[in-house]
Amino acid sequence: MPEPHLTPGGGFLYAATPTIFVPEQRSPQQEMMAQSVDRFLAAEVEPHYAEFEAQAPGVATRFMAGLGELGVLGVEIPERYGGLGLGL
């Protein structure tokens, strides 16, 4: 595994900053996906909080299947490979 890049000493003070995610700069598609995920979490996760905490059998599988149906699992995969290509 390659070593992570670390800026020496106080270099972080003058090193170029990578792109920073800012929710206010989401595209309309990204905003729509975020709203869909919020609704999914409210409907499918919050009511089953105790099951998640207890690591009940099947709860993670149902959760991941639901995310897959929303397309969340392919958000960063380019469209040419079957994903949504939205990036984050």
Residue 39 and residue 46: Cα distance in Å, rounded? 10
Confidence at 55, pLDDT banded by 50, 70, 90: very high
pLDDT of residue 74: 82
Neighbouring C-beta atoms of residue 74, cutoff 10 Å: 17
Q: Which tokens go with 62?
A: 């149902």
Q: pLDDT for 6-40, tens place per residue?
A: 666 777 777 777 777 788 888 888 888 889 999 99
Beta-strand (E) ranges in the chain? none
| Burial classification of residue 73, based on how many CB atoms lie within 10 Å of its CB (0-12 exposed, 13-18 middle, 19 or more buried) | middle
Q: Is the pLDDT of residue 73 over 60?
A: yes
Cβ atoms 72, 33 nearer than 8 A: yes
Average predicted confidence (pLDDT) for the chain? 84
> What share of the chain in percent tops pLDDT 90?
35
| Full-model pTM | 0.64
Nearest to 72 by CA among 80, 58, 61, 83: 83
